[in-house]
Amino acid sequence: MTSPDRPAGNAFATVDFDKPGRQAGFVMFPHSPHNDAWGVTRLPIGIIANGTGPTVILEGGNHGDEYEGSITISEMMRDLDPAKVSGRLILMPANNVHACTSAQRTSPVDGVNLNRAFPGDPRGTITQQIAAYLTDHIFPMGNAFLDLHSGGSSLQILPSAIIEPVADAQHYARNVAAVRAFGAPNTVVIGNMGDPRTATATACRAGLTTVGTEMRGGGTVSLDALDICRKGVRNVLAHLGVIEPTGNAPPQAGDILDLPGPAAYVYADDDGVFEPFHELGTPVFAGQPAGRIHRPWDTAFRPVALRYALDGIVFGRRHLGRVAPGNCVLVVAAPAKGLPTGLSGAGA
Ligand code: CA
């Protein structure tokens, strides 16, 4: 996708995308900071290719403080036998690499959140260049995309496989089938209130079968979520025909849940310390008290209950106690009704 308005950029890969077998290397982004005039930012990448079959792209570390997916992908780069693959895996375990090495959601180099940077800019800041490389060079090679997220430092989320909503019914059915094959305890549609700047929305615009995850969070590695992630990624690869069936648990068959717009979110309206009233997974209803904000350093302050705005279950909560107005403190997921909601501009 090169044009006067959309140049190819200067990034180059040290791996051969068309070569069979196992390779590990980097996508190199020329980058010229104060202490390294002609250096590069190195984005880790692995290729495992054998025979014929689909090309599946696996992304971890889009946010640098979400670890279960990053660990799973880097293990596969080392351990998966190429002879057991039919097709090609493009393995990217630490896509916002500066964010990963500093354990931050956003890049410390330019302050940009990779998952709000698509389609990116090949002449932009380093994170915008990474997004552009994925958009222009990686997604066009793929048939399917797995984007492995967790809640990050600020959120705790029920371990879930995530459906990116798309308008095209056949594409949506492909996404749902692949997400169901993951075998996570929960299946949730997340459209980020229609935001088109995410990796999954961009992969869907490129036509790829797309699977997301949310694997707990809190900026740590959760043992149960890591186990779910390791098995789920292999389950999806087997579903896509890239590896043999895994023998893991059958696809998850419970309700598909949804975050149907602003009513799903409870936001802090004051400065203080948030006390949630319910654990993750608790059924709740619209109007029910959800939690309250304390301000122990202010003797005149009286907590007032925040309330849910949706019937559903508590899907996520803020991990950090300290809150300021506007912070997301709770997320409610409700059974999905009919066609997908929160379309991200990822239509046919
Ligand atoms: Ca994330």
pLDDT at 138: 98
pLDDT surpasses 70 at 345: no
Contact between 321 and 156 under an 8 Å Cβ cutoff? The reply is no
**How many A from CA of 156 to the centre of ligand 1?**
11
Specify the DSSP class assigned to residue 140.
G
pLDDT at 346: 46
Reply yes or no: is the peptide bond before residue 245 cis, omega within 30 of 0. Answer: no
**How many A from CA of 315 to the centre of ligand 1?**
14
Mean pLDDT of the chain: 94
CATH of domain 12-254: 3.40.630.10
**Where do the CATH 3.40.630.10 domains begin and end in the chain?**
12-254
**How many A from CA of 319 to the centre of ligand 1?**
14
pLDDT surpasses 60 at 348: no
- Label residue 331 by pLDDT band (50, 70, 90): very high
What is this structure's pTM? 0.95
pLDDT at 254: 81
Assigned token pair, 125: 């800041």
pLDDT surpasses 70 at 198: yes
Cβ contacts of residue 222 below 8 Å, gap of 6+? Answer: 68, 150, 159, 215, 216
Average pLDDT value for residue range 42-55: 98
The residues whose Cβ lies within 5 A of ligand 1, an ion, are 63, 149
**How many A from CA of 197 to the centre of ligand 1?**
13
**How many A from CA of 113 to the centre of ligand 1?**
10
Residues 245-269 pLDDT 10s: 988 877 667 889 999 999 999 999 9
**How many A from CA of 116 to the centre of ligand 1?**
11
**How many A from CA of 63 to the centre of ligand 1?**
5
pLDDT surpasses 80 at 3: no
pLDDT at 4: 66
pLDDT surpasses 90 at 344: no
CA count, 13 A, side-chain hemisphere, 33: 9
Architecture of domain 264-335: Beta Barrel (2.40)
Assigned token pair, 54: 């689909």
pLDDT at 8: 86
**How many A from CA of 24 to the centre of ligand 1?**
25
**How many A from CA of 131 to the centre of ligand 1?**
15
- Label residue 340 by pLDDT band (50, 70, 90): low
**How many A from CA of 94 to the centre of ligand 1?**
12
pLDDT surpasses 70 at 106: yes
pLDDT at 238: 97
CB count in 10 Å sphere of residue 220 = 15
Using alpha carbons, select from 147, 70, 76 the residue that is nearest to residue 103.
70
SS3 99: helix
pLDDT at 334: 96
Distance CA 216, CA 212 (A): 13
Average pLDDT value for residue range 68-91: 98
**How many A from CA of 216 to the centre of ligand 1?**
10
**How many A from CA of 242 to the centre of ligand 1?**
26
- Label residue 338 by pLDDT band (50, 70, 90): low
| Strand (E) or helix (H) holding 18 | none
Q: Which residue has the tokens 């959309």?
A: 6
Q: Give strand pairing partners of 47.
A: 23, 90
- Label residue 7 by pLDDT band (50, 70, 90): confident
Contact between 51 and 21 under an 8 Å Cβ cutoff? The reply is no
**How many A from CA of 19 to the centre of ligand 1?**
32
Cβ contacts of residue 133 below 8 Å, gap of 6+? Answer: 9, 11, 27, 29, 43, 120, 122
Distance CA 235, CA 336 (A): 24
**How many A from CA of 59 to the centre of ligand 1?**
11
Residues 199-223 pLDDT 10s: 999 999 999 999 999 999 999 999 9
**Where do the CATH 2.40.50.100 domains begin and end in the chain?**
264-335
**How many A from CA of 45 to the centre of ligand 1?**
20
How many percent of the chain have pLDDT more than 90?
90
How many percent of the chain have pLDDT more than 70?
95
Assigned token pair, 322: 């300290």
CA 17 to chain CA centroid, nearest Å: 24
pLDDT surpasses 60 at 33: yes
- Label residue 347 by pLDDT band (50, 70, 90): very low
**How many A from CA of 155 to the centre of ligand 1?**
9
pLDDT surpasses 90 at 337: no
